[in-house]
Amino acid sequence: MSSRNPAISKGVDWSIVWIWIALCTIGVMSIFAATYRESDTILQGFISLKTDYSRQLLYFIMGGVIGTFILLTDSKFFTATANLFYVFGILLMLLVFPFHSRIKGTESIIKFGNAFQLQPADLCKLFVNLALAKYLSRVETDFSKTRSQLIAAAITLGPAMLSIMQHELGLALVYFSFFLVMFREGLPANILIIGFSFAVLVVATLLLEKNTLALILTAIAGLAVYILRRQVKRNRAILFLIAGLWFVCVGVQRFVVPFVFDHVFEPYQVKRIYDAIGKDYVPKDENAAIEIEQKSKGSKKDGDYNVKQSKIAIGSGGLIGKGLLKGTQTRYDFVPEQRTDFIFCTIGEGFGFVGSLVLLGIYFLLLMRIVAIAERQRSVFSRCYAYGVASVFFFHLSVNICMTIGLAPVVGISLPFISYGGTSLLTFTIMLFVMIRLDADRQMVLR
Amino acid sequence: MPVFNQSRSNIIRLIFGGMFLIIAAQLVNLQLVSNKYKKLAEENALFPKRIYPNRGIIFDRKGKAILNNAILYDLMVVPSQVKNIDTQYFCQLLGIDTAEFRDRILDAKFKNGPFRPSIFEDLLPPDLYAKFEENIWKFQGFNLQERPVRIYPYNAAAHIMGYVGEVDSSVLKRSTGYQLGDYVGRTGLEQYYERELMGQRGIEFWIKDNKNRLVGHYENKALDTPAIAGKNLRTYLDIDIQQLAEKLLSNKVGAVVAIEPKTGGIIAMASSPDFDPNELTGPDKQSHYAKLALDVSAPLFNRAIKGQYQPGSTYKPLGALIALDEGIISPSSGYDCHGVYLGCNRPVKCDEKFAGHAATLRLAIAHSCNSFFCNTFRQTLDNPEFHSPRKGLMKWRQYVTAFGLGHRIGVDLPSEDGGNVPDTSSYDKIYNRSWNSCTMVTMGIGQDQLSVTPVQMANAMCIVANKGYFYVPHFVEKVDGETKEDTLLNRYRRKHEVLTHIPDDVYEVVISGMQDVAEIGTAKAVRIPGINMCAKTGTAENYLVVDHKRTKLKNNAMFVCFAPRENPKIAIAVVVQNAGYGAAWAAPIGSLLVEKYLNDTLRAESVKKAQDIANTNLLPKYLIRVQFIEDSTRAAQRALRTHDSTNLMKYIIPSSRAALLDTLRRNNNAIIQRSPLIKPKEDNKPQTDSINK
């Protein structure tokens, strides 16, 4: 068997590994640029493990070690244990409820002592990806059946629900990216289109005045009836369908969205969503106002401030940037959370448009490479898994960058391989290396 | 196997690519198109810190610094760092209570935020500073910050030096070189030599962080400009003479000016009442200023350059010189005076009655004969050469103007006044063009509409002493580091030979007469052994409207002199308002200053005399009445405005009212001119029959 081959490097896609190394290096350097103080001695800073960049360097090295181990593993191991891992992941997420420690407005983190902390909702992406690939690659799964589609959706959205219950809306949204995998595997495009339309409807609800939107919806319905008048004559059912759709849309914009915003989302999340679309949010009652106040105390300033400072940082970078360690915005703490969620500012300010484009290019290369790898797999499992990796990376990096440049609401989503954080870096690394391992065995058909 | 879905991989690629395009487009917008972010980032992070240069120092002629810079300390607080301090002890040191402490901390937080330093107490007095310096380590979050201030080590020359204050909107509008928060000279030399004294402001660019703390220099100081210190001024002032003059004038209203005739350098210039210049720099300067501004005796008013007085008999030497030069009288001319001049309708009294006190010009000057000089003045106007008193007056005015009277003389202080030398038009207006030499006969004895400032009188004495030339009186001898092109001083180095056409022997006659004044005449009591002083006393009538009645006040005592006769080194003019005879009150002051300046020390008896004069209170009594009117009016207006009459009551309740108006009690109060109750506005314009219609 080829898996018995002593050379582990056989079949490994080294381009991905190089990209991984490049991104992690950029990450360590960016964190260094964001947190370095003049008083630090650089060498000591990198060795001491007391600074963030030295810890990130450690995680990077750990990632390399774990990656090597993964490359040494038999790829059958992942198919065999996928479901087991999924159950383990769900268990971990459930464990969070009794054991979470309260850190900065989230209830999703378990702390082991002071040094190490674990965010199962973050880690669980990996397990969901494995489990989804496993389910989709089963011989008996016919993905054209609604039943299978519902099961696949349940597999991905289960952890998302748990994540929402842990007040981690951002991480919950990540799980929606797996719909791209399902789309590739034959999920009707209509569902995605309907989902997208629904999102548009929700945003429109927030942006437009209630009655104006209702009027617009009615006009669209009327137009649809007019265009389809021939078919309607032949088949009355279409008229009912349009009426039903209209009814659902108006219902959503009138009742569902307000209900969700008032009862499901946290007031501070509502505020952030409003901030992102540029509207003022007036809390319904005092409690909500107080809660927003308390939430924003954790990070000193509200989401609007973060985005503003972040945009100033990136915008002031200009074409070629101010240079490493020269950025005044990022060096002097104007951008909050800049070593984690807002790390892109450091690159935008320090290296300007050119630097940002280079980073974007590396990411784009990575995604295109992963899609290419996915498409060359003979095994459905490997293909689904690779698409899952691409989708998660894509979602993370686009939402993260969009929020730093003011195109998306501020949700706590990290920039893959670059944001500071052990769980995040190791999760992404493991996801990537599992994919490389699977790709190395692409001659095998895994079930 | 759903291979048929392979085309969907391209859709996914498209979605990925589309997203990257959107991101790239926004990056283009932020980083390339919009340029506001660069500026916003600089505003965020750059702090241009102004570095104030030291203002120039002012030295006297012996090199003593009379206006210097000192460092006072502000007590600063960073509210977020204040913890575990002994508030009780802290408050006890500062003399406040804990409620006040809390209020100030809250105030600081409100003003500058909890992370930036705010002033907790500014300009600590030295003793308090010493206490805090010792204990500052106990008070975490507090520190002492330097603040340069101007100090006057001799507590003297307040009017000359002036003071500095923060620029106000009017200065900012007028000149471009200032920014809000800068200091600018407000009066005196501080204002006149502002350009030399201010130096050049420097700027350091600092980087601040998100909490507005300064974290370091920007670009390694490459863009910084260093501050350049102001230039020092070397003056002619003699601080000992200045202090003596101020001491002699204490408890009086008046002025003294002493000038070095050979250079025009002002040796001393005092105006009383005055104030302690240090009061307008350190803590509480606002309240001190308000106090001074509300005082009717006008301590902020520099009488030496702004006070306008009728010169009285001190004019007589000038009148004699004019008449001699015109050939109207000769040194041997005399006038048979018996105590009154009857040449015109209105009799003019003369203080001397014995026969022959005006037998010659010299004697007439020595005894200050009014009749002689009234007669001489009339002859000057009715000069047969001109056939008209109109032309005579014009000729006379030409002479008097040449003596530096009637116009600003150009001393290097701001806001000098010019005095008044009437011309034909002003008499035409009053007398409807029908006047003759009798109309203004008292001008011959320095009354009528003639008014001069003390500095003009002193300068006129310089001209007499120099026999015809003068330098414009000024304080500053040189500016350190001045260049020929830009110095302000060139105009003070030009010799003005205004009256050198009068022959020296004519001057000698008048000067001999003036010497006789100090030897055998009106001022013989103040003769200084070993010094040939030439002098002239004067006693000028004056009037003031008090309580809507025109009241004749006590005469102004005047005195001018220069000494020594052979080689004049000092010329002095003294005015003591409402004191009485010039010989009694002004002459001793002048004589003491001459003695001190020429001998560098005072004889024992002079020391005693100086002390006696300093202790004598000659403040006019009407000031108390005027002050009462001013204050009670203000209190009444305030009561109307605020409906709170507690302050007004003290002017209404008979007992306290009587106390406020008790002239006797208050005249015994030696520090009356520093009392908070007195304020400016008094009659400096001489009022005589002729202009009081």
Chain B residues in contact with A401 by the CB 8 A cut-off are 23
Whether residue B143 is found in the same domain as residue B57: yes
Rounded distance between C-alpha atoms, residue A405 and residue B23, angstroms: 8
Whether residue B316 is found in the same domain as residue B443: yes
**CB within 8 Å: B16 and A394:** yes
Whether residue B523 is found in the same domain as residue B579: yes
B368: domain CATH number?
Answer: 3.40.710.10
Chain A residues in contact with B33 by the CB 8 A cut-off are none
Chain A residues in contact with B40 by the CB 8 A cut-off are 312, 315-316
Whether residue A185 is found in the same domain as residue A206: no
Q: Is residue B318 part of a domain?
A: yes
Chain A residues in contact with B115 by the CB 8 A cut-off are none
**CB within 8 Å: A328 and B41:** yes
**CB within 8 Å: A405 and B26:** yes
Rounded distance between C-alpha atoms, residue B458 and residue B84, angstroms: 65
CB proximity list for A395: less than 8 A, separation 6 or greater:
A173, A174, A176, A177, A413
Residue of chain A nearest B216, judged by CA positions: A38
**CB within 8 Å: B40 and A38:** no
**CB within 8 Å: A360 and B20:** yes
Whether residue B317 is found in the same domain as residue B448: yes
- Tell me which of A238, A268, A297 is where a domain ends: A297
Whether residue A313 is found in the same domain as residue A241: no
B173: domain CATH number?
Answer: 3.90.1310.10
Q: pLDDT at residue B348 above 80?
A: yes
What pLDDT score does B133 carry?
84
Q: Is residue B182 part of a domain?
A: yes
**CB within 8 Å: A316 and B41:** yes
Whether residue B561 is found in the same domain as residue B607: yes
* pLDDT beneath 50: ranges in chain A: 1-5, 297-301
> Each residue of A137-185: pLDDT tens digit?
888 888 888 888 899 999 999 999 888 888 777 888 899 899 889 888 8
Q: Is residue B39 part of a domain?
A: no
- Tell me which of B230, B253, B282 is where a domain ends: B230
Q: Is residue A5 part of a domain?
A: no
Radius of gyration of chain A (CA): 24
Reduce the DSSP state of residue B111 to 3 states and report it: helix
Whether residue A98 is found in the same domain as residue A225: no
> Each residue of A96-124: pLDDT tens digit?
888 777 665 567 778 776 667 788 888 89
What pTM was computed for the model?
Answer: 0.64
Whether residue A154 is found in the same domain as residue A174: yes
- Name the DSSP letter for residue B115: T
> Each residue of B499-509: pLDDT tens digit?
999 999 999 99
Q: Is residue A154 part of a domain?
A: yes
Q: Is residue A48 part of a domain?
A: yes
**CB within 8 Å: A315 and B38:** yes
Whether residue B78 is found in the same domain as residue B108: yes
What pLDDT score does A276 carry?
59
- Tell me which of B574, B597, B615 is where a domain ends: B615
**Out of A180, A333, A368, whose CB is closest to B210?**
A333
Q: Is residue A60 part of a domain?
A: yes
Whether residue A306 is found in the same domain as residue A365: yes
> Each residue of B136-145: pLDDT tens digit?
888 888 888 7
Whether residue B387 is found in the same domain as residue B457: yes
Whether residue A188 is found in the same domain as residue A248: no
Mean pLDDT of B663-677: 39
- The number of domains in chain A is 2
Whether residue B428 is found in the same domain as residue B397: yes
- The number of domains in chain B is 3
Inter-chain contacts counted by CB atoms under 8 A, chains A and B: 121
**Out of B5, B16, B42, whose CB is closest to A185?**
B5
**CB within 8 Å: B12 and A184:** yes
Q: At what angle do helices B239-248 and B587-599 cross, to 10 degrees?
A: 160
Q: Is residue B326 part of a domain?
A: yes
- Tell me which of B187, B205, B230 is where a domain ends: B230
**CB within 8 Å: A185 and B27:** no
Q: How far is A231 from chain B (nearest CA, A)?
A: 30
**CB within 8 Å: A375 and B6:** yes
Whether residue A203 is found in the same domain as residue A245: yes
- Taking a C-beta distance cutoff of 8 angstroms, is the pair B146, B83 a contact? no
Chain B residues in contact with A180 by the CB 8 A cut-off are 12, 15
What pLDDT score does B638 carry?
87
Mean pLDDT of chain B: 84
Q: Is residue A360 part of a domain?
A: yes
The pLDDT-based confidence of B155 (bands split at 50, 70, 90) is confident
Q: Is residue B260 part of a domain?
A: no
**CB within 8 Å: A405 and B42:** no
SS (H, E, C) chain A: CHHHCCCCCCCCCHHHHHHHHHHHHHHHHHHHHHHCCCCCCHHHHHHHCCCHHHHHHHHHHHHHHHHHHHHHCCCHHHHHHHHHHHHHHHHHHHHHHHHCCCECCECCCEEECCCEEECHHHHHHHHHHHHHHHHHHCCCCCCCCHHHHHHHHHHHHHHHHHHHHCCCHHHHHHHHCCHHHHHHCCCCHHHHHHHHHHHHHHHHHHHCCHHHHHHHHHHHHHHHHHHCHHHHHHCHHHHHHHHHHHHHHHHHHHHHHHHHHHHHCCHHHHHHHHHHHCCCCCCCCHHHHHHHHHHHHHCCCCHHHHHHHHHHHHHHHCCCCCCCCCCHHHHCCCCCCCCCCCHHHHHHHHHHHHHHHHHHHHHHHHHHHHHHHHHCCCCHHHHHHHHHHHHHHHHHHHHHHHHHCCCCCCCCCCCCCCCCCHHHHHHHHHHHHHHHHHHHCCCCCCC
Q: How far is B135 from chain A (nearest CA, A)?
A: 30
Radius of gyration of chain B (CA): 34
**Out of A318, A334, A401, whose CB is closest to B38?**
A318
**CB within 8 Å: A364 and B17:** yes
Q: Is residue B146 part of a domain?
A: yes
> Each residue of B50-90: pLDDT tens digit?
777 888 999 999 999 999 888 878 888 888 888 778 888 88
Q: pLDDT at residue B471 above 60?
A: yes
Considering only residues A406 and B456, tell me which one the structure prediction assigns the higher pLDDT: B456
Q: Is residue A156 part of a domain?
A: yes
Q: Is residue A447 part of a domain?
A: no
- Tell me which of A269, A297, A325 is where a domain ends: A297
Whether residue B535 is found in the same domain as residue B636: no
**CB within 8 Å: A180 and B12:** yes
Q: Is residue A237 part of a domain?
A: yes
Chain A residues in contact with B16 by the CB 8 A cut-off are 364, 367-368, 371, 390, 394
Whether residue B426 is found in the same domain as residue B510: yes
Whether residue A225 is found in the same domain as residue A280: yes
Domain around B69: 53-230
Q: Is residue B35 part of a domain?
A: no
Reduce the DSSP state of residue B451 to 3 states and report it: strand
**Out of B13, B20, B44, whose CB is closest to A334?**
B44
What pLDDT score does B684 carry?
36
Q: Is residue B316 part of a domain?
A: yes
Q: pLDDT at residue B429 above 50?
A: yes
Whether residue A381 is found in the same domain as residue A368: yes
Q: How far is A272 from chain B (nearest CA, A)?
A: 20
**CB within 8 Å: B12 and A186:** no
> Each residue of B214-264: pLDDT tens digit?
777 777 777 777 888 889 999 999 999 999 999 999 889 999 999 999 999
Whether residue B410 is found in the same domain as residue B332: yes
Whether residue B548 is found in the same domain as residue B504: yes
Q: How far is A61 from chain B (nearest CA, A)?
A: 29
**CB within 8 Å: B31 and A332:** no
Domain around A219: 198-297
Whether residue A157 is found in the same domain as residue A306: yes
Chain A residues in contact with B215 by the CB 8 A cut-off are 332
Query: What value of ipTM does the predicted structure carry?
Result: 0.85
**Out of A309, A364, A390, whose CB is closest to B20?**
A364
Q: How far is B271 from chain A (nearest CA, A)?
A: 57
Whether residue A182 is found in the same domain as residue A66: yes
What pLDDT score does B663 carry?
61
